[in-house]
């Protein structure tokens, strides 16, 4: 299935992107099937408007002159179709002996910190096809590095600009389906699907026009960038590369979660969280360099 997308920006002509659906899973470096590798969707590069319009969103979502700014994703890339699941993360944790570090978040309606919790037991029931939570930014980065070693391909976290590009999927509205929240589209706290008290299976809702699921809602997603409130004004020429900073910098999370209101699920919304502090509503997805995959 192809998604035909038109958009234009000041300074260049309207651009037409034809996204052809290519879903695949990498093999291991030795050529054998990789049963624990995430499914990937091939996403072609393109230009898009990053950030919010004047009067919309928070101050950290506004670019120069408080306007959205144009970002060019030059290369195509492969992005995991779903959030990394508990099943997929378990392969990494088992192979590397990754320890849990406790977890915090809403449990039975109250915010709690508990050293006994972790990704295996976040304080509520999850199945193996739910997104892994209670993982730090470092856990997510190291998962991508481990997957790179296992497959011989280069996996990493998405940059913030890449995340917004694939979350918008060629649109300029608050959500990829329009300006208003709609029932049965995402998992969040209010005005959303109410079948799930916490996380939902990663394929519980329809994918966006790029064929990616749950970029909005269900769990926040770690991305590569250091969070800076004025990044869009100070580093506008950096994007689509990640904004760097001290090793211990606060990291950007995107997309909102099961315990957030629709306002947090807007494609432009951005927040920061401590890289070494896991929460039960933060997960991640991965990307990999896709120059060797024919379109």
Number of domains in the chain: 1
Asked, for residue 245, whether it belongs to a domain, the answer is yes
Asked, for residue 228, whether it belongs to a domain, the answer is yes
Gap between the Cα atoms of 236 and 106, Å rounded: 35
pLDDT at residue 69 in the model: 96
Confidence band of 17 (pLDDT split at 50, 70, 90):
low
Asked, for residue 34, whether it belongs to a domain, the answer is yes
Here the CATH number for the domain that contains residue 108 is: 3.90.1580.10
Asked, for residue 117, whether it belongs to a domain, the answer is yes
Over the stretch 253-276, which tens digit does the pLDDT of each residue have? 999 999 999 999 999 999 999 999
Over the stretch 282-295, which tens digit does the pLDDT of each residue have? 999 999 987 666 54
Cβ of 59: how many Cβ atoms within 10 Å? 11
Asked, for residue 295, whether it belongs to a domain, the answer is no
Residues listed for the chain: 295
Over the stretch 40-53, which tens digit does the pLDDT of each residue have? 999 999 999 999 99
Residue 92 contacts by C-beta under 8 Å, 6 or more apart in sequence? 36, 98, 142, 143, 146, 147
Gap between the Cα atoms of 36 and 159, Å rounded: 23
Over the stretch 145-186, which tens digit does the pLDDT of each residue have? 999 999 999 999 999 999 999 999 999 999 999 999 998 899
Asked, for residue 236, whether it belongs to a domain, the answer is yes
Asked, for residue 294, whether it belongs to a domain, the answer is no
Instruction: Tell whether the model's pLDDT for residue 55 goes beyond 90.
Output: no
Q: What residue numbers bound the domain in which 162 lies?
A: 2-289
Cβ of 114: how many Cβ atoms within 10 Å? 16
3-state SS, residue 81: coil
Ramachandran quadrant class, 216 (left: phi over 0; alpha: psi -120 to 50; beta: rest): beta
pLDDT at residue 107 in the model: 79
Confidence band of 18 (pLDDT split at 50, 70, 90):
low
Over the stretch 182-198, which tens digit does the pLDDT of each residue have? 988 999 998 998 889 99
Residue whose C-alpha is closest to residue 144's, from 38, 34, 29: 38
pLDDT at residue 37 in the model: 97
Asked, for residue 83, whether it belongs to a domain, the answer is yes
């Amino acid at each position: 299935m192809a998604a035909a997308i038109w958009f234009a920006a000041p300074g260049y002509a309207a651009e037409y992107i034809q996204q052809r659906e290519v879903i695949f899973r990498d093999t291991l470096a030795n050529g054998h099937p990789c049963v624990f590798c995430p499914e990937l969707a091939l996403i072609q590069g393109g230009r898009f408007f990053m950030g919010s319009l004047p009067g919309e969103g928070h101050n950290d979502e506004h670019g120069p002159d408080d306007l959205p700014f144009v970002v060019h994703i030059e290369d195509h890339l492969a992005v995991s179709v779903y959030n990394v699941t508990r099943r997929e993360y378990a392969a990494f944790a088992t192979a590397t002996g990754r320890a849990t570090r406790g977890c915090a978040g809403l449990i039975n309606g109250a915010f709690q910190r508990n050293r006994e919790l972790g990704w295996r037991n976040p304080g509520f029931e999850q199945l193996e096809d739910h997104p892994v939570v209670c993982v730090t930014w470092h856990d997510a980065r190291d998962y991508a590095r481990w997957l790179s070693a296992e497959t011989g391909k280069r996996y990493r976290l998405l940059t913030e600009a890449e995340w917004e590009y694939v979350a918008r999927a060629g649109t300029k509205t608050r959500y990829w389906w329009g300006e208003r929240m709609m029932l049965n589209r995402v998992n969040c706290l209010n005005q959303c699907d109410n079948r799930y008290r916490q996380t939902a299976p990663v394929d519980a809702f329809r994918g966006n026009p790029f064929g990616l699921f749950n970029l909005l809602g269900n769990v926040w997603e770690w991305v590569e960038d250091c969070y800076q409130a004025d990044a869009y004004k100070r580093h506008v020429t950096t994007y689509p590369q990640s904004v760097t900073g001290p090793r211990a910098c606060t990291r950007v999370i995107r997309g909102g979660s099961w315990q957030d209101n629709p306002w947090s699920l807007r494609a432009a919304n951005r927040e920061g969280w401590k890289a070494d502090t896991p929460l039960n509503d933060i997960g991640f997805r991965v990307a990999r360099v896709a120059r060797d995959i024919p379109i």
